[in-house]
Amino acid sequence: MSASGPRVIVITGASAGLGRALALCYSAPGITLGLTGRNVERLEAVASECRARGAEVVAGCMDVRDAVAVQSWIQDLDARHPIDLLIANAGVASTLRSSDDWEGAGRTAEVVDINLYGALHTVLPAIERMRTRRRGQIAIVSSLAGLRGMAISPAYCVSKAALVAYCDSVRPVLARDHVGISVVMPGFVRTAMSDVFPGNKPFMWSAEKAASFIKKRLARRRVEIAFPFSLTLGLKLLRLLPAAIADTILGFLFQVPRRNM
């Protein structure tokens, strides 16, 4: 990584939302971007926007649940362009649609496979090569929902909480090899994912504002990047309260929609 910042950056889930905003935020002459997504048309559209800003783009249409395909793509890209920064951003949202709804085994597995295992499929091949080079930076996009579970989105919360725990666990180990890892915990960001959330969305940020904030904090090697401050503080304080009280507060703020009669 050069003194002026990362020159080769990989972003998963780059075809829309926060991933697209991050790709555009990092786009500039002299930058090589590795972008992945599941929708080839949207991915190519983002790649074209980034190239118009002067970046070189290597686009890969794939599902992060496909560990073999992701590993092969990461290793091939890294062999040609050693990765300075990898942002594991791909993810899906899931919420209970009504008080009668329930996330069974199938829905839960799909969310966990994409949000948790998809992130690990992405970062593990990169970490191996970064440790060998003894340099590099990893960022995993979790969520403020990973700080405290909410009844409205159980599978999403557990998948994001697991990412926070993973980053906390491996950070000291990676530091020995001069590889940094940051966990990014956004609150509500105005994207298609937030559109499906039926409850209140306090302190919502635009995707562009969130991407700029993340980029600045990653440049400072912050290990925890959480925003907005008010919502972050509130959720951290909730963890200090008895569970029954915290449940009541969260139930008031983020209610599961009642079924239609």
If you search the block for the tokens 């703020």, which residue do you land on?
Answer: 253
The reply to whether 261 falls in a domain is no
For the whole model, what pTM was predicted?
0.93
The reply to whether 217 falls in a domain is yes
- Provide the pLDDT for residue 259: 58
- The number of distinct structural domains making up the chain is 1
The reply to whether 1 falls in a domain is no
Q: Nearest Cα to 188, choosing from 180, 197, 179?
A: 197
- pLDDT, averaged across the chain: 93
Which domain does 43 fall in, by range? 8-253
- 37-51, 64-78, 150-164: range with lowest mean pLDDT: 150-164
Decide if pLDDT at 156 tops 60: yes
The reply to whether 260 falls in a domain is no
The reply to whether 258 falls in a domain is no
- Residue 204 is encoded by which pair of tokens? 């919502």
Question: Exposed (0-12), middle (13-18) or buried (19+): which is 157, by Cβ within 10 Å?
Answer: buried
Share of the chain above pLDDT 70, in %: 93
- Provide the pLDDT for residue 258: 63
The reply to whether 54 falls in a domain is yes
Residue 199's pLDDT band, with cuts at 50, 70 and 90, is low
The reply to whether 66 falls in a domain is yes
Residue 173's pLDDT band, with cuts at 50, 70 and 90, is very high
In sequence order, what E strands does the chain have?
8-11, 32-37, 56-61, 85-88, 136-141, 179-186, 189-190, 205-206, 224-227
- Provide the pLDDT for residue 41: 98
Residue 60 sits in a domain whose CATH number is 3.40.50.720
Decide if pLDDT at 150 tops 90: no
Decide if pLDDT at 215 tops 70: yes
| Inter-residue contact 93 to 84 (CB < 8 Å) | no
CA distance 32 to 195: 31
The reply to whether 117 falls in a domain is yes
Task: Give Cβ neighbours of residue 109 (< 8 Å, ≥ 6 apart).
Answer: none
- Provide the pLDDT for residue 2: 58
Decide if pLDDT at 261 tops 60: no
Decide if pLDDT at 255 tops 80: no
